[in-house]
A and B are shown apart, each in its own frame.
Chain A
Amino acid sequence: MTKPQKNSAAGWRPLLISGPAVLWLTVFFFLPLATIVGISFFSRSDYGEITRPLTFENYQRLVGFGFLGFDLLYPGILLRSLALGAGTAALCLLAALPLAFFIARLGRCKNIALTLVVIPFWTNLLIRTYAWQIILSPESPVTRALHWLDVGAAGEALYPGWLALSLGMVCDYLPFMVLPLYASVEKIDWSLAEAAMDLGAGRFQVFRHAVWPQILPGALAGIILVLLPATGQFVIPDLLGGAKTAMLGNAVQQQFTQNRDWPFGSAISVVALALVLFGLWLYRRKNGGKEIELA
């Protein structure tokens, strides 16, 4: 005999458990999101109110066709932000690969190493970024050592500049790359590497054909986790890159506050979201429909 009460319990229990979460997401995520998408097709009145007519003008402005003729300001912001994100992701991948292999081979100290990777998160982003300003200031030992190695001009700070920007961005986003990459590296089936070797593959070919395919899911997850927030990042470029021009993040913020142009701010948000979803779609396609795997 099966237990009927168990069957009926199975009917309402999942609903009861997931109900609050579903309700929460509906009210505080899906509805606002739908509102944003809706607003992005409205116009702005002279006083900053959201009014009709419905229009694609916000999107046209975003790709450069504003009311002042063709203007590269917003496409520029979009491209600059994407370049920042992609560059950060690439540097993080290069830095995280050896680190992930190193941690995976540590044995018992693995967990300590992983904790060390995450520890910088305990400090506020702004403080970490200002710390870089101090480390790269003209008189710091690090700056002097780098000057001695012919990096930068003597007596000058190493920020703002590309070096400072890269350092700041990589340090901030590295954990997002290391953790998923580590999860893949730790699971590597080394017998595949041996099989490749046995079949005549040299060192590089073993990595390319037998190891890289195994860590690709982790690398893709890491790239997405770095690329997306790094694309929206504007504090670090401001403080370390000397970017006086806006990034995607502060462009949105500006439209919703100073400019009081909610429809255009919404359009920027929607495009940013579309880019994210496009990235995830690419990931799923490349990864055989699997979700992002984390440790």
Chain B
Amino acid sequence: MSASQNLLAVEIKEAKRNFGNVTALAGVSLEIRAGEFFSLLGPSGCGKTTLLRIIAGLDALNGGTLKIGGVAAAEIPAHQRPVNTVFQSYALFPHLTVGDNIAFGLRMKKIAPAQIKERVAQAMSLVKISDLAARFPGEISGGQKQRVALARALINEPQVLLLDEPLGALDLKLRKELQVELLQLQRRLGTTFICVTHDQEEALVMSHRVAVMNAGRIEQLDSPKNLYEHPRTRFVAQFLGSCNLIAGNVTAINADALVVATPFGVLGAGRRNSSRPLTMGGAVTFAVRPEKLTLLAARLADQPNVIPVRVEDVIYNGAETQYRLRCGDHTLSAVVLNASHTNGGFKPGEEIFAHLAAEALVLLDD
């Protein structure tokens, strides 16, 4: 990166953490830019929460370095770090009112009571819970608790806000609402948000950049669009959305294209700048998103990358229709948007054709 270090909110190098024999972090390096909405995405046990707790100071590194705002932070105790956390279960103090919960951080800093009162009122209006000040956490709903936890953390004006599965405990509709709100809040405040989630949609919707983690490592760090359109590994391809994986062997390598023999026939694909060296006859794997398949009733002459398939299953989903297609011993899934009558409308047992455009075939590294 060209800019100086103060543009980095968090800098982690070779972070390692073991719990007994279990490796939670196997050497993670990460740079999170100031003002960024950054997500750590992965299945449970991938080390994302451990990483968040290390940034918060609630867990310690076994190896590697951590900088927050350009300052070495590994030795700074949690209560002196310029970060605040929204905990997974919110961890609101049950014996304090909502107002006192939000004021807690400022009280610890011995801020003048008049100022505390004013800032609590501001924080509460920021997250739209101004009328809840006198209630106790046991008396409010899950969504409201989430807002209280957010206000309690944000009132301290942290350099970095850490969110541990912030919407995990809420029902789907509320979650979608709050996703948008959280995103707007972050864009408005400009605070660096680091969010841990196992929900891929949440990560895609809210983040500027996402690090997909697996087994204590970062599999891929990219913008949501790149992650989805150009996954580098099978894990990323399958963890984000659904994906067809097509294995094959290289039969020709051109300057900008690749010809591969697959169980579905010979397919031409674009040559992405893969980190993997390509050799003639070498095994490769492509990822193809189901919605990138085009289903055709008849084959056009000379059209490449078209394979004959039989419709096995049709699942109508309202906005879209999912097809399971069979070609020999292999299956493919396809999704067709129910936008018109021209596309789709196929029935189980029908023999049709699927077009896999060259640009839809994403070459994977593994």
Residues 229-286 of B at the A interface (beta carbon under 8 Å): none
- Nearest B residue (CB) for A288: B95
Q: Are A199 and B84 in contact (CB under 8 A)?
A: yes
Q: A194-B58, A199-B84 are in contact. Are A205 and B91 (CB under 8 A)?
A: no
| A200–B111 alpha-carbon span in the complex (Å) | 12
Neighbouring A residues of B77 by C-beta, 8 Å = 197
| A1–B45 alpha-carbon span in the complex (Å) | 49
Q: Assess whether B322 is interfacial by the CB under 8 Å rule.
A: no
Q: Assess whether B85 is interfacial by the CB under 8 Å rule.
A: yes
Q: Assess whether B109 is interfacial by the CB under 8 Å rule.
A: yes
Neighbouring B residues of A198 by C-beta, 8 Å = 56-58, 78-79, 83-85, 87, 153
Q: Are B58 and A192 in contact (CB under 8 A)?
A: no
Question: What's the tally of chain A residues with a CB closer than 8 Å to chain B?
Answer: 17
Q: Are A192 and B93 in contact (CB under 8 A)?
A: yes
Q: Assess whether B156 is interfacial by the CB under 8 Å rule.
A: yes
Neighbouring A residues of B87 by C-beta, 8 Å = 191, 194-195, 198
Question: Which residue in B58, B95, B152 is a CB contact (below 8 Å) of A197?
Answer: B58
| A207–B187 alpha-carbon span in the complex (Å) | 36
Neighbouring A residues of B79 by C-beta, 8 Å = 197-202, 206
Q: Are B91 and A200 in contact (CB under 8 A)?
A: no
CB distance from B15 to the nearest CB of A (A): 19
Q: Assess whether B331 is interfacial by the CB under 8 Å rule.
A: no
Neighbouring B residues of A206 by C-beta, 8 Å = 79
Question: Which residue in A189, A192, A199 is a CB contact (below 8 Å) of B108?
Answer: A199
Q: Are A194 and B93 in contact (CB under 8 A)?
A: no
Residues 180-233 of A at the B interface (beta carbon under 8 Å): 189, 191-192, 194-202, 205-206, 209-210, 213
Q: A191-B87, A197-B58 are in contact. Are A209 and B78 (CB under 8 A)?
A: no
Q: A191-B87, A209-B104 are in contact. Are A197 and B78 (CB under 8 A)?
A: yes
| A199–B58 alpha-carbon span in the complex (Å) | 12
Residues 92-133 of B at the A interface (beta carbon under 8 Å): 92-95, 104-105, 108-109
Q: Are B105 and A199 in contact (CB under 8 A)?
A: yes
Q: A191-B87, A195-B85, A195-B87 are in contact. Are A200 and B93 (CB under 8 A)?
A: no
Neighbouring A residues of B109 by C-beta, 8 Å = 200
Q: Assess whether B29 is interfacial by the CB under 8 Å rule.
A: no
CB distance from B287 to the nearest CB of A (A): 38
Residues 152-201 of B at the A interface (beta carbon under 8 Å): 152-153, 156
Q: Are B93 and A210 in contact (CB under 8 A)?
A: yes
Per-position contact with A for B52-63: 1 when CB-CB < 8 Å, else 0? 000011100000
Q: Are A195 and B93 in contact (CB under 8 A)?
A: yes
Q: Assess whether B220 is interfacial by the CB under 8 Å rule.
A: no
- Nearest B residue (CB) for A197: B78
Number of contacts between A and B (CB, 8 Å)? 60
Neighbouring B residues of A200 by C-beta, 8 Å = 79-80, 105, 108-109, 156
- Nearest B residue (CB) for A191: B91
Q: Are A189 and B91 in contact (CB under 8 A)?
A: yes
Q: Are A205 and B58 in contact (CB under 8 A)?
A: no
| A44–B209 alpha-carbon span in the complex (Å) | 89
CB distance from A218 to the nearest CB of B (A): 14
Q: Assess whether B89 is interfacial by the CB under 8 Å rule.
A: yes
Q: Are B89 and A191 in contact (CB under 8 A)?
A: yes
CB distance from A210 to the nearest CB of B (A): 7
Neighbouring B residues of A194 by C-beta, 8 Å = 58, 78, 85, 87, 91
Question: Which residue in A189, A191, A196, A202 is a CB contact (below 8 Å) of B104?
Answer: A196
Neighbouring B residues of A213 by C-beta, 8 Å = 93-95
CB distance from B199 to the nearest CB of A (A): 21
| A144–B80 alpha-carbon span in the complex (Å) | 49
Neighbouring B residues of A191 by C-beta, 8 Å = 87, 89, 91
Q: Are B95 and A199 in contact (CB under 8 A)?
A: no
Q: Are A199 and B156 in contact (CB under 8 A)?
A: yes
Neighbouring A residues of B156 by C-beta, 8 Å = 199-200
- Nearest B residue (CB) for A216: B95
Neighbouring B residues of A189 by C-beta, 8 Å = 91
Q: A198-B56, A198-B58, A198-B79 are in contact. Are A192 and B91 (CB under 8 A)?
A: yes
Neighbouring B residues of A199 by C-beta, 8 Å = 79, 84, 104-105, 108, 152-153, 156
| A216–B58 alpha-carbon span in the complex (Å) | 25
Known: A194-B85, A206-B79. 8 other contacts (CB 8 A): A195-B87, A199-B108, A199-B153, A200-B79, A200-B156, A201-B108, A202-B79, A213-B93
Q: Sample 6 A-B pairs with CB under 8 A, ordered by A number.
A: A195-B91, A198-B153, A199-B84, A199-B108, A209-B104, A210-B93
User: Which A residues form the contact surface with B (CB < 8 A)?
Assistant: 189, 191-192, 194-202, 205-206, 209-210, 213
The 6 A-B pairs of least Cβ separation, nearest first, read A195-B91, A200-B108, A199-B105, A191-B91, A213-B95, A197-B78
